[in-house]
Amino acid sequence: MTELDILAFALKQFADLTPNDFNMSTSFWHKKEYKKGDFFNQHKNVCRYLGFINTGTFRSFVIENNTAEEKNVFLYSKNQFVVPFKSFINQTPCDYHTQAMTDASIYYISIDDLLLLYKQSHKWERFGRLMAQMAFNVTIERMESFIFKTPEERYLDLIKNHPDIFNNIPLYHISSYLGIQGPSLSRIRKRISEK
């Protein structure tokens, strides 16, 4: 299976796009390689592209004004979309940075090409609606996880949604994403390994 085949399969799973639907879009998808530390999109820039990760891991993060500490907000892994949702959907400046945490490869499509597909096809229009719903759900689930879930439950969700994450990025990034300190993460991992 080629990387483009994997993208077509993912879009079928996500929005029930048929091979014919996907073929409408093939000339719009472009491949891009990232080195660790390269930015997909930066703070205050409008995100013009939706990416699909072939390989690698990305993060969205904010920098605290007072401490200059980086806090991870979202993580994106292989076979997932990488996009600062609000900036992309509304075409407004982004509130955070999105950066490759490892060497990575993506296929990306521009907002203009996507809007053209929406006009040409109800299936692609449905894709856009599902993307907006996914953006809403991811954001709400992230916010609610800090209200209703323990750090251990957030850790287990992370493993479920990003199974290879521990092989790819340093633990301090995981601690930041979970909203805990390094020693707390070590205790959680120890407890879970003993179960």
Q: In this predicted model, what pLDDT tens digit does every residue of 76-103 receive, in sequence order? A: 999 999 999 999 989 999 999 999 999 9
Instruction: Identify the pLDDT of residue 177.
Output: 94
What range defines the domain where residue 88 resides? Answer: 3-148
Would you say residue 57 lies in a domain? yes
Would you say residue 100 lies in a domain? yes
Would you say residue 185 lies in a domain? no
Would you say residue 162 lies in a domain? no
Would you say residue 14 lies in a domain? yes
Would you say residue 173 lies in a domain? no
Residue 13, CA distances (Å) to 19, 80, 85, 187 in order: 12, 12, 20, 37
Would you say residue 42 lies in a domain? yes
- R_g of the chain, CA atoms, integer Å: 17
Q: How many residues does the chain have?
A: 195
Would you say residue 170 lies in a domain? no
pLDDT at residue 195 above 80? no
State CA 47 to chain mean position distance: 13
Q: What is the count of structural domains for the chain?
A: 1
Q: What is the CATH number of the domain that holds 130?
A: 2.60.120.10
pTM strictly above 0.85: yes
